[in-house]
Amino acid sequence: MSSVIESIETLLVDLPTIRPHKLSMTTMACQTLVIVRLRDSDGIEGLGEGTTIGGLAYGPESPESIKRNIDTYLAPLLIGQPAGAVAALRSRLDRHARGNAIAKSALETALLDAQGKRLGLPMAQLLGGAHHDHLPVLWTLASGDTGRDIDEAFQRLEQRRHCDFKLKIGANAVDDDVRHVAAIKEALGERASVRVDVNQAWDESSAVRGIAALQAAGIDLIEQPIPAREHAGLVRLASRFEVPMLADEAVADARDGFALAAAGFNGAYALKIAKAGGPRGALALAQVAQAAGIGLYGGTLLEGSIGTAASLHAWATLPELAWGSEMFGPLLLKDDIVAEPLAYGEFGVELPTGPGLGIALDEDKLAHFTRK
C-alpha cells in the first residue's frame, strides 16, 4: 500500500528579531513562523513554513489566518490522500480553496519535504535538479537610522557575509528617504550594490521624483515603488528610467508575470514561494519571466530556516538569478528552531544537501518558542 497523509499539525512560533526591522508599512520586533508538520502513514514527516510581515500589514493573510485556514479547510482536503501525489494535491487545494497562497506554500513545502525524504532525494532534485550549490544573498538595512545602517553594512562586508544591500524606504517623506539612501551609497561607494524597496508607498508622481534622485545617487534597482495593482504605472516607470524596476507585490504568480510582461514591462521579477502558493508556482513564474526576457531575483517574506531552505531548493534549479537573492531571513532572527542552521558565508548560503529540505527540527527550541 502506498503511503497516505495521516495528520497535519500547525504551530505558531514567535521569534524575536536581532533589531527593529523598519518597512514602509510596519516595524517588526518579532517574526511569527507558521510551522507545518505533516505526517504520512509510512512514518515520514514533512516540514513546511509560512510567514508574512507585521500581521496583516503586508497582505491579506496573517499568521493566525494561515494556521486557522490550514486547520479548518486545507488540511482536511489532504488527510487520507496519497502522500506522494504532490502536483495533484496542490491542484486539489486550488480547486477547493481560493487565495491563501502562504498557507498553500507551507503545505506544498511539507508535501515536497516528505516526498524527498521518502525517495532519498533533496527537494531541488524533485524540482528538476540544482544548477548551483551556493547562492548569493543580500542583506536588508532597515534599522531606521542612517548611521546604524552604514555600520551594519561595513560589518557585513568585513564578515564576507553580504556585498549587496537593500534599503527599506517609503515610511518617511521622499526627500528624507532620498537623503538617507544617498548617504549610505556615498559611504559604501563601489564596494557594494545598493538597492531600495519602497513596498508600494509612493504614488506615481512621487515615484518619478524619488527615482530620478535615487538614479542620480547610483542606486542599482528600485523595488515596487507604487501599489501592486498599478501595472501600467510600473511599466511607465520602467520605460522612463535607466535604473531598472523590480516588481515584487505586483507579481505573485505566473499569471501576474504574464500580464505585466504582456503590458511591456522590462524590469525584473522577485520570486517568492509565499506569493506563488509554493516552490512550484514560483518556478512557473520564473518560466514566464525567462520566456519574456525578464531577469529574476530570489525573494523572501522573511521566512525562517524551513521556508528559506524550501526557497533555496527552488532557486537552485534556475540557470540564472540576474539579481541574486535575499534569502537572509534566519539571520534576522535571534534564535532558530532547527538542529543545524543554514550555512551562510562568502556572500551567500549553501544549498542544504540532505533528503527533502535537508533540515531537522530542534524539538526543545521549537517547544520553547511555540505560542502557548
Ligand X SMILES: O=C(O)C[C@H]1C=CC(=O)O1
Active site members: 168, 326
Count Cα atoms within 13 angstroms, Cβ side, for 49.
Answer: 29
Span 4-43, contacts to ligand X by CB under 6 A = none
Q: What is the DSSP letter of 352?
A: P
Span 39-78, contacts to ligand X by CB under 6 A = 53
Span 219-248, contacts to ligand X by CB under 6 A = 248
Span 313-332, contacts to ligand X by CB under 6 A = 326
* Site map 156..195 versus ligand X, x via CB under 6 A: ------------x---------------------------
Q: Which of 49, 113, 197, 256 binds ligand X (CB under 6 A)?
A: 197
- What does the buried/exposed string (b/e) look like for 15-24 if buried means 16 or more CB atoms within 10 Å of the residue's CB? bebebebbbb
* Site map 76..105 versus ligand X, x via CB under 6 A: ------------------------------
Interface stretch with ligand X, choices 83-91, 144-152, 295-303, 350-358 (CB under 6 A):
295-303
Nearest alpha-carbon partner for 307 in 15, 29, 88, 1? 15
Closer Cβ to ligand X, 195 or 231, answer by number: 195
Cell 503511503 sits on residue: 3
| 3-class secondary-structure state, position 248 | coil
Please report whether residue 308 would count as binding ligand X according to CB under 6 A.
no
- Partner that binds at residue 317, options Mn ion, ligand X, none, CB closer than 5 to 8 Å by kind: none
Interface stretch with ligand X, choices 107-115, 116-124, 300-308, 340-348 (CB under 6 A):
300-308
- What does the buried/exposed string (b/e) look like for 161-192 if buried means 16 or more CB atoms within 10 Å of the residue's CB? bbbbbbbbbbbeebeebbebbbebbebbeeeb
Sheet arrangement for strand 27-40:
5-22, 27-40, 45-50
Report the relative pairing of strands 295-298 and 268-271 from DSSP bridges.
Answer: parallel
Q: Beta partners for 48?
A: 36
Interface stretch with ligand X, choices 237-245, 277-285, 297-305, 349-357 (CB under 6 A):
297-305
Q: Which of 49, 149, 152, 197 binds Mn ion (CB under 5 A)?
A: 197
Rounded to an integer, what distance in angstroms lies between the CA atom of residue 30 and that of residue 332? 10
Please report whether residue 303 would count as binding ligand X according to CB under 6 A.
no
Q: What is the DSSP letter of 4?
A: B
Size of interface with ligand X, in residues (CB under 6 A): 12
Interface stretch with ligand X, choices 82-90, 206-214, 296-304, 316-324 (CB under 6 A):
296-304
Question: What residues line the site for Mn ion (CB under 5 A)?
Answer: 197, 223, 248
